Amino acid sequence: MYNLFDYAYNLPESLIAQTPCEHRSLSRLMHLERKHHGINHRRFLDIADLLRPGDLLVVNDTRVVPARLLGHKPTGGRVEVLIIDYAAGMKHLTETGRFQCDCLIRASRRPEPGTVLELGQGIKATVIEHRDRISVVCFDGGTAFLSRLKKAGKMPLPPYIKRDQNSGQGKGASAQMDEQRDRQDYQTVYANAEGAVAAPTAGLHFTNDLLATLFAKGVEVARITLHVGYGTFVPVRVTDIRDHQIHSEYFIVDEQTAEKINRARRDGRRVIAVGTTSVRTLEFCANDDGIISAGQGRCDLFIYPGYRFKCVDAMITNFHLPESTLLMLISAFYDRERILDAYKVAVAEKYRFFSYGDAMFIE
C-alpha cells in the first residue's frame, strides 16, 4: 500500500469532464457505505436525503483568484506565468509593499533571473530566481497589482481541462466566453476568502437552494479556509509514497468554527468534510482526541493508508487522478482496494472525473 503503482487505475480520456454539469446539484453521486461496503448511484441533490439532522458540514470557503497571466518576454517571445502561492504573495505584499511569490513559468526558453516580463494591463514582473521547476517572481505596482490581476488574469484551470490557450487573438471570442463561464463555474457558491489557485472542487456541486434545503433539515455548516495551491496537481515522483514531500497550503480556522466542530463531536453528531482540503485542515488542527484548535498557518499534512482519522466522520469528494495524494487520502479513509473497485465501477458506469466531474459521498 506504500508503492505508488498501488494507486494506478485505467481511465478513458473521454470521462475527464471538460465542463461542469449544467445544473450543479444534478451531477451524479456515488454513495459508499463503509459499514456494509455498499455502492449506490444517486444524484448530488440526494445528499439532502443522506445527511441527518444535526450533521455538521465543514466547507472550504476559499475563493479562486485568476492566477494565470499571459504576456511576452523582452525578446517578444510568449510567456505564461502561473501564480502558485497567492497567500505567500499577499504576506510579502503586506510586509514589503511588493507582491512576490512562487510561480510556474512556461516559455520556449525559461527567462533568466533579472528578466522583466510584460503581462497585460500594465503588469510588469521581474524574475528573481529559479528553484528546480519553481520560479520566484516579483510583480510591480504594489497593491494596484491586485486589481490589475483581476482584469488581466485567467482562471487557473487544471491542465487536464483543455481551453483555447491564445491570449486574445485568433479564437479570442470563444476563449473569452469560456473564461467568463469558468470564472463563475470554477467557484463554490460560498467562496469568500480570496487566495486559492485551484478550486475545492467537491464544493462545486452545492447550490444556494440545496444549502437552504439542508439548513431546513437541521444540517449545520461551518466554514474553514484553506487556500488550495497548484501543488495539489503536482505528481508524486517517488516509488515509495512515504518519501513524498507534500505541498503546504495556508489555512485559517477561527474560534467560532473550532467551537462548532468541537460541540458537534461532544454531542456525538457527525462531522462531514466537504472536500479533501477540508479533511486535511481538520485533521491537521485536531489533537489525538479529535479536538480542534483555532489557528492559522501552513498545512502540510500528507494522509495515506495507515493514518488514524481523529475528527472527520464522513466526506464528500470528487474522483481523483491516478497515483495522486488525494486518491491516497480517500484510500486511507476507507480501504485502498475497495476505493479502486469503486473507481472501476465509476468507469463502467461512465461517471465524469476530476474537477468538473461527479462526486462521491463516503460515510
- Judge whether residue 110 has pLDDT over 70: yes
From 153, 179, 204, the end of a domain falls on 153
pLDDT in tens, 229-256: 887 778 999 999 999 999 899 999 999 9
Buried b (16+ CB within 10 A) or exposed e, 77-104: eebbbbbbbbbbbbebbeeeebbbbbbb
CATH number at residue 193: 3.40.1780.10
How does the average pLDDT of the chain come out, rounded? 95
Residues 244 and 352 in one domain: yes
Residues 48 and 15 in one domain: yes
Please give the pLDDT value at position 168.
44
Q: Which domain holds residue 206?
A: 4-64+187-362
Residue 175 in any domain: the answer is no
CATH number at residue 96: 2.40.10
Residues 56 and 78 in one domain: no
Residues 44 and 108 in one domain: no
pLDDT in tens, 42-83: 999 999 999 999 999 999 999 999 999 999 999 999 999 999
In the numeric block, which cell numbers belong to residue 321?
Answer: 487522478
pLDDT in tens, 328-340: 999 999 999 999 9
Structurally, the chain folds into a number of domains equal to 2
> What is the CB-side half-sphere exposure of residue 109 using CA atoms within 13 A?
8
Residues 328 and 203 in one domain: yes
- Residue type (1 letter), 59: V
Measured over the CA atoms of residue 253, residue 135, residue 303 and residue 242, the dihedral's sign is: negative
Please give the pLDDT value at position 173.
64
Note whether 117 and 72 are within 8 A (CB). yes
pLDDT band with cut points at 50, 70 and 90 for residue 260: very high
Among residues 115, 160, 156, the alpha carbon closest in space to that of 135 is found at 115
- Judge whether residue 166 has pLDDT over 80: no
Q: Give the span between the Cα atoms of 196 and 156, in whole angstroms.
A: 9
- Judge whether residue 349 has pLDDT over 70: yes
Residue 256 in any domain: the answer is yes
- Judge whether residue 176 has pLDDT over 90: no
- Judge whether residue 128 has pLDDT over 80: yes
- Judge whether residue 167 has pLDDT over 50: no
CA distances from 243 to 39, 307, 313, 334, 358 (A): 33, 15, 27, 22, 31
Residues 276 and 318 in one domain: yes
Residues 127 and 231 in one domain: no
Number of other CB atoms surrounding residue 216 within 10 Å: 10
Please give the pLDDT value at position 171.
53
Please give the pLDDT value at position 233.
74
Residue 161 in any domain: the answer is no
Residue 126 in any domain: the answer is yes
From 132, 153, 174, the end of a domain falls on 153
- Judge whether residue 132 has pLDDT over 60: yes
From 107, 137, 153, the end of a domain falls on 153
Residues 35 and 83 in one domain: no
Residue 320 in any domain: the answer is yes
Note whether 305 and 332 are within 8 A (CB). yes
Buried b (16+ CB within 10 A) or exposed e, 40-60: eeebbbbbeebbeeebbbbbb
Please give the pLDDT value at position 164.
62
Residues 310 and 270 in one domain: yes
3-state secondary structure the chain: CCEHHHHCCCCCHHHECCCCCCCHHHCEEEEEECCCCEEEEEEHHHHHHHCCCCCEEEEECEEECCCEEEEECCCCCEEEEEECCHHHHHHHHHHHCCEEEEEEEEECCCCCCCCEEECCCCCEEEEEEEECCEEEEEECCCCHHHHHHHHHCECCCCCCCCCCCCCCCCCHHHHHHHHHHHHHHCCCCCCCEEEECCCCHHHHHCCHHHHHHHHHHCCEEEEEEECCCHHHHCCCCCCEHHHCCCCCEEEEECHHHHHHHHHHHHCCCCEEEECHHHHHHHHHHECCCCCECCEEEEECCCCCCCCCCCCCCEEEEECCCCCCHHHHHHHHHCCHHHHHHHHHHHHHCCCCECCCCCEEEEC
Q: Give the span between the Cα atoms of 192 and 34, in whole angstroms.
A: 33
- Judge whether residue 170 has pLDDT over 60: no
CA distances from 31 to 21, 41, 47, 61, 320 (A): 18, 6, 9, 24, 16
Lowest mean pLDDT among 69-83, 125-139, 148-162, 173-187: 173-187
Residue 278 in any domain: the answer is yes
Residue 276 in any domain: the answer is yes
Residues 343 and 255 in one domain: yes
Residue 176 in any domain: the answer is no
Residues 229 and 263 in one domain: yes
In this structure, what are the phi and psi dihedrals at residue 148, rounded to the nearest 5 degrees? -65, -40
Please give the pLDDT value at position 199.
96
Q: What is the pTM of this model?
A: 0.94
Q: Give the span between the Cα atoms of 296 and 285, in whole angstroms.
A: 9
Q: What is the mean pLDDT of residues 268-276?
A: 98
Please give the pLDDT value at position 230.
80
Residues 311 and 277 in one domain: yes
